[in-house]
Chain A
Amino acid sequence: LAKTTQPISMDSYEGQEVNITCSHNNIATNDYITWYQQFPSQGPRFIIQGYKTKVTNEVASLFIPADRKSSTLSLPRVSLSDTAVYYCLVGYNTDKLIFGTGTRLQVFP
């Protein structure tokens, strides 16, 4: 499972776009990149998954450069309810679903 590095925390204000970058220098050819969101005292929730270029859904966008050694989760116009911990997971043929320390996003009014 590729090691991932994310910022420990980020602050933003309502209405702003938030970009959280995850570094995964040893990503393997078959690895996918997946992001989860976790609110306090709840289980994580799948946000988005991608392999290369850009993926967009109703919640977020995921940007993956050509070398795939990093990825950026983009949350457009955040609100207070987006305050949560965001986890980046990278892997393919793994026998564990391992979460790192994640990025704690705090959105202020």
Chain B
Amino acid sequence: EAGVTQSPTHLIKTRGQQATLRCSPISGHTSVYWYQQALGLGLQFLLWYDEGEERNRGNFPPRFSGRQFPNYSSELNVNALELEDSALYLCASTQGGVPVNTEAFFGQGTRLTVV
């Protein structure tokens, strides 16, 4: 069974540009979570999508946005990139329902570098 896949693995962008990160959940999973992890720091919750809708978002500015497609894959878009956006972006999927009670499966992440 394929795990959660994220693309690209690495992404280098210039300040002010836009970045698009993609996530494919495990087959059968309907919920997708996005996290930002700056080097050496903890995971910061970004967004939660379930059944195509945004269910909740963390304390991030509106330039962080995303969507979930009918096949449950998801995109994270970061507009007007700033140097501080450089981080590992992780995607996780669950079968839906109550997120803390179900096992979350994480992808390997996208390393975004803003120069």
Contact = CB atoms under 8 A, between A and B. Distances in A.
Interface of A: 1, 31-32, 34, 36, 38, 41-46, 49, 87, 89-102
A97 B103 contact: no
B42 A43 contact: no
Contacts of B72: none
Nearest to B101: A32
B66 interface: no
Contact of A96 (B42, B56, B90, B109): B56
Contact of A92 (B4, B48, B100, B106): B100
Nearest to A97: B99
B45 A98 contact: yes
- Chain A interface mostly: loop
Contacts of A49: 101, 103
A43 B108 contact: yes
Contact of B42 (A45, A89, A102): A102
B100 A97 contact: yes
A95 B92 contact: no
Contacts of A44: 43, 90, 92, 104, 106
A46 B105 contact: yes
A79 B7 CA distance: 32
